[in-house]
Amino acid sequence: MTAQSPQLWTSQEIVAATGGILQGDSFEVSGVTFDSREVEPGWLFVAMPGTVADGHDYVARALAAGAAGLLVSRPGANSYGGPHILVDDVPRALIDLAIASRNRCGGKIIGVTGSVGKTSTKEALYEALERYSKGRVHRSVKSYNNHTGVPLSLARMPRDCEFAVLEMGMNAAGEIAALTRLIRPHVAMVTTIASAHIEHLGSMEAIADAKAEIFWGLEPNGLAIVPEDSVYRDRLVKAARKHAARTITFGHGEADVAVVHAVRSEHGGSLVTARLVESDLTYTIAQRGDHWVTNSLAVLAAVEAVGADLAIAGLALADMGGLKGRGERHRIAVDGGSYLLIDESYNANAASMAATLKALGEEQGVERRIAVLGPMRELGEHAEEIHAGLAPSVLDAKVDQLILVGEDMRPLERAIGAAVPMTRADNVDQACAALAAMVRPGDAVLVKASNSIGLAKLVEYMVKEPACSIG
């Protein structure tokens, strides 16, 4: 092991955690993954079964990439070509490894969920804690927040970390309950409640109840953090108090962690004065939009709760750049000048659409505002109503040109009518061609849709090829 790759697990520890049988030489690993494309030298490759592909079929690729050991369930003696631990059930073994990781952790663990902003808030919280305790903070990577991603994130948690920030997502009731009982957070946070997953859950109240399951796994003397500004605030507080020793709210007005004053900063973010539980803090946020002011309050509430340094957290918020697909900003050359492209292509629901359109409307020093919008998913019978309901946000943002992608955006097209010049696109390639023909120096372009629509491809084309040639 190198100093840059500390020991994460020994084969003996993996055997003890999973009840598996070691075949081949003992080994140590510095990382864990179930994606053979992610394997680095010295890592454990977990051969997860799947409906489309089976990890056992990628063992050779993992070993070629330098995997030190394998976690497998197909008996094969030494036919794998490398040391491996044989278990009856690989997904169950990964959960067992996650439990062992959680049991040996002596640090403070923060769990994050919500309909909007959970990944961004998780990343901001990580940056705040990492600046305070450099090299001793762990987090979920990407959006590994489901029944396989959470066990993987726990299995990757260093044995000596001081803080961990772990994200939890869901598509149905009961899913977060299972995840939070694995994570056993000391602090559990709900960022906000919105219409994401209403197709599966049926009502906003059911969504709030499903998110509130995060409190079920709280450690004794645990803290719950709840959004004050949500109409489901009282519902969340009531749910939290069944499991939390203490519940605090963040937002405006009477919130425990509240905005006292917020103005746009010189570089487009916000300068905020906040009242915290035990002190006040004035800080700058690099990210644009009122929703980021609220996100920052949740971050600071958690930082204060785990005893980290609030002033250092404020510095981290000032330095934090945009996340890919979640507000990353690109300045792209065109026709002797440049335009701004705001990448919000990773996810979308009614609340995040409204928030990012509002931020687009507040962009300063732009000639035109262009919005490239695609559908929101998992809305079920509410889809037409919710898509049409975006019209006021588009109009309030003073959008000059609108590109709507896909048939599901017809309700918004009808709701807006002739109020905004509009281009329809059946697919991402058509949207890209339309934007390339339209964009000019001084424009600000927002790209926003659910990830499955694939508007990340449009961003990639525009960033790499301003002319956006489509073959």
Q: Provide CB contacts within 8 A for 104, sequence distance 6+.
A: 159
H-helix or E-strand spanning residue 332: strand 328-334
398 in a labelled binding site: no
Q: How far apart are CA 26 and CA 83, in angstroms?
A: 7
203 in a labelled binding site: no
345 in a labelled binding site: no
322 in a labelled binding site: no
Q: What is the DSSP-derived secondary structure letter of residue 213?
A: G
Q: How far apart are CA 215 and CA 11, in angstroms?
A: 34
In 182-275, DSSP assigns E strands to 187-190, 223-227, 246-251, 257-264, 270-275
> Measuring CA to CA, how many Å separate 374 from each of 276, 409, 446, 454?
38, 7, 11, 9
At CA 158, angle to CA 157 and CA 163, rounded to 5?
Answer: 75
192 in a labelled binding site: no
79 in a labelled binding site: no
Convert 97-106 to b/e letters by CB count within 10 Å (16 or more is b): bbbbbbeebe
Reduce the DSSP state of residue 245 to 3 states and report it: coil
Q: DSSP states of 159-178 as a string?
A: TT-SEEEEE---SSTTHHHH
Phi and psi at residue 198, to the nearest 5°: -65, -25
191 in a labelled binding site: no
Binding residues: 114-120
Binding residues for ATP: 114-120
